[in-house]
Chain A
Amino acid sequence: MAFTISALIFFASRLSPIDPINAMVPPDMASDSANLEQLREELGLNDHIILQYLTWLKNIATGEFGYSLQSGQKISEILALRMPATLELVLSALVLSTILALTLGLFAGAKKGGIADKLSRILGVVGIAIPDFFIGLVLLNLFAFRVEWLPTGNRVAPGQVTFWDRFPNLILPVATLTIAMLAVLIRYTRNSVLDTLNRDFVKTARSKGVPEWRVLYSHVFRNSLGPVMVLLAFRLPLLVGGSILVETVFQWPGIGTTIIAAVTASDYPVIMVVSMIIAMVILVASFLVDIIKSILDPRVRLGGGN
């Protein structure tokens, strides 16, 4: 699987009409075709395409990601610089949205027609219809420009050293991403809780006289976690990919803004490495999904239940 993806990424990038040499060499040097040919030879661009693919694969596997066409920086250095920013942003939003969605979804499902239910239904409908960067723009306008409580973007301002110094910078992007992630997650949780409530074992528990909060917590909640966990695992690739739109709105120096810069500049080495890493995380995530399913539901143990 990993090989198929890597081959797809590699050959797709070769399909593009852009010659990497043109992007690397300044125009005034490009007139000397002998120099260009020598450079081509040195970079291995004249080798057979299969050989090129294998070299690239070997380099990726050994952590040699190559250089950015745009800035000439090492891609591994760019990633090391940008990855923590994205992790910080996405991880906080994932944790926050999960906690909120599970609580709200549980209450909504438990008491159909109650306040939590109405709230979560409105959030579910409206949250899906509104583009996430628009939420970001509104928050930015209100809290950063109108009342000037929070900074307008960026991760660190000059003079900020500790985490708590730059904490205000984190609030708006995380809030935006959380709201954007919340809508679908709440819908999922609510439906899953409703499904579980109709199951027989809940009736059994109730008829045994188990207190309602215990029924909700230890019977319903745990059994309705399955689909929610699967959805969460599918969101893991965001951890390395970042949210392009939210990062752009808040000028967050993460992977998302790196991708945008790379795409606008046709910086292929960067796009290839980033998409390769995302693909790997996806494979890990889908493996995790299988494990989660088997933990939560003993009926689908790996290997078909011996």
Chain B
Amino acid sequence: MQKKKQDQQSTARIFVRNLLHNPSAVIGLTIISIMILCAVFAVQIAGVEPDYIDPIEGRQGPSWDHLMGTDQLGRDMLSRVLSGGRQSIYVGVIASFLANLIGTVLGATAGYLGGKIDAVVMRVSELVMTFPQLILVLIFVSLLGQGINNVIIVFALTGWMTTFRLVRGEFFSLREEAFVEADRAFGFSKPRIIFRHILPNTMSPIVVAFTINIAIFIIAEAGLSFLGLGVPVTTPTWGNLLTAAQNPVVVDEYWWLWVFPAMSIAIFVLGVNFVGDGLRDVLDPRHKSLIAKNKWKVVLVGRLGRKK
């Protein structure tokens, strides 16, 4: 029992160390943490509430007083962009978590059971996947109505397929493994085999899909809100700030109103994708990584250490 715990600890340590040695993961993590911190302390950094209206200072370009300028009501764009990150990141993370949950449960069940259930779920996933995502989201939004929670639900319902496919694929190969056969021989129930024994082995694709989905959903939120159909306009999100660019005059003359929110989206998504790439390198043994080499080193060092 103690040995098992030790093993687990050391794999976790190897994982963290490999991740910290992976350049793209480090860059990505740095970007993401800085941006999350900025979003949390938006008001302190900008010095103004995002909703503070100052009619005299309306539509000013970037200056030392307002690093990102002000909008038509004189609200400080720096404060709005930074705090807009809160809602955008929140939507992305929660929706990605829910989508992953749906995808994992469906993928695990379909992959383990196979047969008719698998065929049906597979067909559905193909259909949802090929339907242009934004149109599907719009149809759902028109049925459910606007609102931040509805946006999250819609994203989860339209974005579970990547995870589903990955998990299903893993289950297809894992269900033939000896330990699963042993489980069956012991007479364990199906849910127990699926979720307690096989599922932990498929964690790496799930984690990678989680990061990729965050990136996709943040971009989707931006598009949806840009069209004015996402999160209600009263809460600033990166996408809602971009709505200003529906007006040609804004595109022409007040570039700071849309360039800064869009850049924030791009940089954050870039960071998330970097982390995703890094995680894939570290977690997936098929992509050449340090983990195999280091595992030996640790085992060796551990043995030698014990002898002394």
The reply to whether B222 and A131 contact each other, CB–CB distance below 8 Å, is: yes
The reply to whether A275 and B269 contact each other, CB–CB distance below 8 Å, is: no
The reply to whether A241 and B135 contact each other, CB–CB distance below 8 Å, is: yes
Stretch at the interface among A24-32, A68-76, A202-210, A258-266: A258-266
* B20 contacts the other chain (CB 8 A): no
The reply to whether A244 and B123 contact each other, CB–CB distance below 8 Å, is: no
A61 to B143 alpha-carbon distance, docked (Å): 24
A137 to B244 alpha-carbon distance, docked (Å): 11
* B270 contacts the other chain (CB 8 A): yes
Q: Which residues of B contact A285 (CB under 8 A)?
A: 130
Looking across the interface, which residue of chain A has its beta carbon closest to that of B253? Answer: A145
A260 to B223 alpha-carbon distance, docked (Å): 12
Q: Which residues of A contact B242 (CB under 8 A)?
A: 133-134
The reply to whether B228 and A264 contact each other, CB–CB distance below 8 Å, is: yes
Looking across the interface, which residue of chain B has its beta carbon closest to that of A153? Answer: B248
Looking across the interface, which residue of chain A has its beta carbon closest to that of B132? Answer: A241
Stretch at the interface among A52-60, A122-130, A220-228, A291-299: A122-130
A140 to B266 alpha-carbon distance, docked (Å): 18
The reply to whether A137 and B270 contact each other, CB–CB distance below 8 Å, is: no
A263 to B242 alpha-carbon distance, docked (Å): 20
Shortest C-beta distance, A86 to chain B (Å), equals: 12
The reply to whether A260 and B138 contact each other, CB–CB distance below 8 Å, is: yes
With contacts defined as CB atoms under 8 Å apart, how many contacts are there between chain A and chain B in the complex? 106
With A134-B266, A141-B252 as given contacts, are A244 and B138 in contact (CB-CB < 8 Å)?
yes
With A125-B270, A282-B131 as given contacts, are A131 and B223 in contact (CB-CB < 8 Å)?
yes
A248 to B224 alpha-carbon distance, docked (Å): 12
Shortest C-beta distance, B204 to chain A (Å), equals: 19
The reply to whether B142 and A1 contact each other, CB–CB distance below 8 Å, is: no
Shortest C-beta distance, A223 to chain B (Å), equals: 21
Query: By DSSP majority rule, is chain A's interface helix, strand, loop, or mixed?
Result: helix
The reply to whether B266 and A130 contact each other, CB–CB distance below 8 Å, is: yes
Q: Which residues of A contact B127 (CB under 8 A)?
A: 5, 279, 282
Within B236-258, the residues touching A (CB, 8 Å) are 242, 245-246, 248, 251-252, 255, 258
The reply to whether A244 and B227 contact each other, CB–CB distance below 8 Å, is: yes
Shortest C-beta distance, B194 to chain A (Å), equals: 27
- Report A73-86 CB contacts with B as 1/0, cut-off 8 Å: 00000000000000
Shortest C-beta distance, B111 to chain A (Å), equals: 21
Count B interface residues, CB 8 Å. 38
A13 to B143 alpha-carbon distance, docked (Å): 7
Looking across the interface, which residue of chain B has its beta carbon closest to that of A238? Answer: B132
Partner of B273, one of A129, A134, A248: A129
A129 to B272 alpha-carbon distance, docked (Å): 9
The reply to whether A137 and B251 contact each other, CB–CB distance below 8 Å, is: yes
Looking across the interface, which residue of chain A has its beta carbon closest to that of B228? Answer: A264
- Report B107-139 CB contacts with A as 1/0, cut-off 8 Å: 000000000000000010011011110110011
Partner of B123, one of A1, A132, A266: A1
Q: Which residues of A contact B231 (CB under 8 A)?
A: none
Looking across the interface, which residue of chain A has its beta carbon closest to that of B124? Answer: A4
* A147 contacts the other chain (CB 8 A): no
* B206 contacts the other chain (CB 8 A): no
The reply to whether A279 and B131 contact each other, CB–CB distance below 8 Å, is: yes
Shortest C-beta distance, A13 to chain B (Å), equals: 8
Shortest C-beta distance, A171 to chain B (Å), equals: 17
The reply to whether B143 and A129 contact each other, CB–CB distance below 8 Å, is: no
Which 6 pairs, one residue from A and one from B, show the smallest C-beta to C-beta distance? A134-B262, A145-B252, A129-B269, A129-B270, A282-B130, A241-B132
Q: List 27 A-B contacts (CB under 8 A).
A: A5-B127, A16-B143, A126-B270, A129-B270, A130-B266, A131-B222, A131-B262, A131-B266, A133-B223, A133-B242, A137-B245, A141-B252, A234-B130, A237-B130, A244-B227, A245-B134, A259-B135, A259-B138, A263-B141, A264-B229, A266-B142, A271-B142, A274-B135, A275-B139, A278-B132, A279-B127, A282-B131
Chain A residues engaging chain B, CB cutoff 8 angstroms: 1, 5, 12-13, 15-16, 125-126, 128-134, 137-138, 140-141, 145, 152-153, 234, 237-238, 241, 244-245, 248, 259-260, 263-264, 266, 271, 274-275, 278-279, 282, 285-286
Known: A129-B273, A237-B131. 6 other contacts (CB 8 A): A5-B127, A129-B270, A137-B251, A244-B138, A264-B228, A278-B135
